[in-house]
């Protein structure tokens, strides 16, 4: 009986949805949709959806969770996404907490929150989609290939139609760590990157197929915000990212309150510093530290602990990435160093 009542309630909920949210069913009262237009949702309210990003190879749905907070007052639509790489998790906690903190009655505009874009990658703890594709090089997708179709469903039914600005949350990959780090490519996205309060901004001409760059090229200013390390919920990082997003929302007049000043290091150049010998790496300069050209930044030891290489900084700058896995093959990255190149043609990235 209870199950039947739940089913009836779910059906009524689905029928109550506006026609623009193309409902195909519901799970535990959460509507399943394959198209979403947030402007048609009720104002002053939080709504949850399962977005159906096509079918798996066993003819079941790929589902992606979506939270929409439509403010009581009109304003811009801010899209915040996480987990397009399935081992990058901090952004998921950031979105869950943002959804719990923002009061729809106090919000101007709409928050469109996607806590986990790459469903199979998150399940398998892999950066990639199951066919080996990098979903964050696959946007806006295409009609051929599983990852292309999945990306196309997300792009056309969820992401592109519902964003006036966007922040795509990531972390570094397995075995490595970032400082809090934002990518931007235009004056407006540089400003957005400053507002979210990272340690370092990288002005970057971008890569084809990323959420950030495809949205920005299509007229929706977007940044990639890198939140430290993979495969964990890190409290300090999550707290900083939340404060940063709320600061961006204050500047966009979505939330009341003053806009906080931030002081990230803005850079436009990067170099990967690599081990030339295989072995056990010990870092001598911590993540986030400033290094001088020629400074020793790591040693490589052989199987008996004898140092066989001292790696030095080829360039002055800040260490924005480290390898956290001490096992290094010859040619593996030890750290990356970023810096600012004053050449005017590099102002928005080289
Ligand atoms: Zn990523």
- DSSP codes joined into one string, 203-272: E----TT-HHHHHHHTT--EEEEEES-SSS--HHHHHHHHHHHHHHHHHTTSS-SPPPP--PEEE-EEEE
Average pLDDT over the chain reads 94
Cα of 47 vs centre of ligand 1, distance in Å, is: 27
Tell me the pLDDT band of 14, cut-offs 50, 70 and 90: very low
Rounded to the nearest angstrom, the distance between the alpha carbon of 35 and the centre of ligand 1 is: 25
3-state secondary structure of 104: helix
Predicted pLDDT of residue 24: 78
Helices (H), the chain: 2-16, 90-101, 119-124, 146-154, 187-195, 211-217, 235-251
What's the 135 CA to ligand 1 centre distance in angstroms? Answer: 10
pLDDT at 1: 44
| Model pLDDT, residue 21 | 60
Please identify, in words, the CATH class of the domain defined by 269-346: mainly beta
What is the CATH code of the structural domain delimited by 34-265?
3.40.630.10
> How many angstroms does the Cα of residue 195 sit away from the middle of ligand 1?
20
Q: Output the CA–CA distances (angstroms, integers) from residue 101 to 22, 38, 83, 245, in the order listed.
A: 28, 20, 20, 12
C-alpha 226 – ligand 1 centre gap (Å): 7
Quick one: what percent of the chain has pLDDT higher than 90? 91
| Cα–ligand 1 centroid distance for 62 (angstroms) | 20
pLDDT tens, residue by residue, 33-62: 999 999 999 999 999 999 999 999 999 999
DSSP bridge pairs for 44: none
CA–CA dist 12, 324 (Å, integer) = 51
Query: Which pTM value belongs to this model?
Result: 0.93
The Å distance, Cα 173 to ligand 1 centre, comes to 7
- What separation in Å is there between the alpha carbon of 232 and the centre of ligand 1? 14
Mean per-residue pLDDT, 275-298: 98
Ligand 1 centroid–CA 271 distance in Å is 19
What are the residue ranges spanned by the domains of the chain?
34-265, 269-346
CA of 85 to the centre of ligand 1 (A): 5
SS3 assignment, position 73: strand
């Amino acid at each position: 009986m209870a199950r039947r009542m739940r089913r009836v309630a779910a059906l009524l909920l689905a029928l109550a949805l506006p026609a623009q949210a193309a409902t195909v069913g519901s799970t535990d009262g959460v509507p399943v949709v394959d198209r979403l237009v947030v402007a048609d949702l009720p104002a002053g309210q939080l709504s949850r959806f399962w977005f159906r990003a096509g079918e798996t190879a066993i003819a079941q749905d790929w589902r992606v969770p979506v939270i929409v907070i439509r403010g009581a007052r009109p304003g811009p639509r801010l899209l915040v996404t996480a987990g397009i790489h399935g081992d990058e998790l901090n952004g998921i906690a950031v979105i869950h907490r943002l959804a719990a903190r923002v009061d729809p009655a106090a919000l101007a505009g709409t928050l469109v929150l996607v806590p986990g874009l790459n469903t199979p990658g998150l399940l398998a703890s892999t950066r990639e989609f199951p066919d080996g594709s990098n979903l964050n090089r696959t946007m806006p997708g295409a009609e051929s290939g599983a990852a292309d179709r999945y990306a196309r469903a997300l792009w056309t039914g969820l992401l592109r139609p519902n964003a006036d600005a966007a922040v795509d949350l990531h972390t570094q990959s397995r075995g490595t760590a970032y400082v809090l780090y934002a990518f931007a490519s235009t004056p407006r996205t540089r400003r957005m990157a400053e507002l979210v309060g990272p340690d370092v901004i990288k002005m970057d001409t971008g890569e084809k197929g990323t959420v950030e760059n495809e949205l920005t090229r299509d007229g929706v200013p977007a940044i990639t915000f890198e939140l430290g390390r993979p495969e964990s919920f890190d409290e300090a990082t999550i707290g900083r990212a939340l404060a940063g997003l709320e600061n961006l929302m204050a500047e966009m007049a979505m939330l009341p309150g003053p806009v906080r000043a931030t002081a990230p290091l803005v850079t436009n150049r990067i170099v990967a510093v690599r081990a030339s010998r295989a072995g056990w790496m010990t870092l001598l300069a911590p993540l986030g530290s400033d290094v001088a050209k020629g400074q020793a930044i790591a040693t490589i030891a052989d199987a008996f602990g004898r140092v066989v290489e001292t790696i030095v900084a080829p360039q002055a700058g800040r260490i924005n990435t480290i390898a956290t896995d001490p096992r290094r093959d010859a040619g593996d990255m030890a750290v990356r160093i970023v810096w600012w190149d004053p050449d005017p043609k590099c102002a928005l990235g080289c």
